[in-house]
Amino acid sequence: MKNALKVLVVALTTLAFSGVSFAQEKKATPATPAAPATEKKSEMKSEKPKTTRITGEVTSVDAKAGTLTVKAKDKETNLTADTKAKGALEKVKVGDMVKVSYTEKDGKMVASSIAKTETKAKTTKPEEKKSDMTEKKTEKK
């Protein structure tokens, strides 16, 4: 009985330490290959930048410097025109509605295309609506 107990204790001790050694090997393996992490960074840089579109009102233009500021939904975006968009930049003036396609490069918004859009026709002014309503109410009496 004592021999069986000793064999059981030795077997359990061996099993416990072998599990620890396997755990250490698994932790060490992922930490050693530094090359794939470097490859991932270079892959990220080689991806094409995402093109974004914005439609809004031009608040400032500088054709010589190649800059443009567009206000859309209470947010102003400062853009720099690339060589393709500089020709269109000369035709745009403050107050025009434009549709701009741009990408972000090195923290700057670089416009690749600038196109004027049609301004929406405004409906009757709220002041006019109020005066029409008051006239109708007085006519009914």
- Residue 7 falls inside a structural domain: no
Domain count, the chain: 1
Q: How far apart are the first and last CA of the chain?
A: 113
Q: Check whether 131 has a pLDDT greater than 60.
A: no
- Residue 40 falls inside a structural domain: no
- Residue 58 falls inside a structural domain: yes
- What percentage of the chain carries pLDDT values higher than 90? 33
Residue range 25-81, pLDDT digits in tens: 555 555 545 555 554 554 555 567 789 999 999 999 998 999 999 999 889 999 999
The whole-number average pLDDT for the span 13-32 is: 59
- Residue 72 falls inside a structural domain: yes
Q: Which domain holds residue 91?
A: 52-116
- Residue 10 falls inside a structural domain: no
Residue range 120-129, pLDDT digits in tens: 544 444 555 5
- CATH number, domain containing residue 90: 2.40.50.320
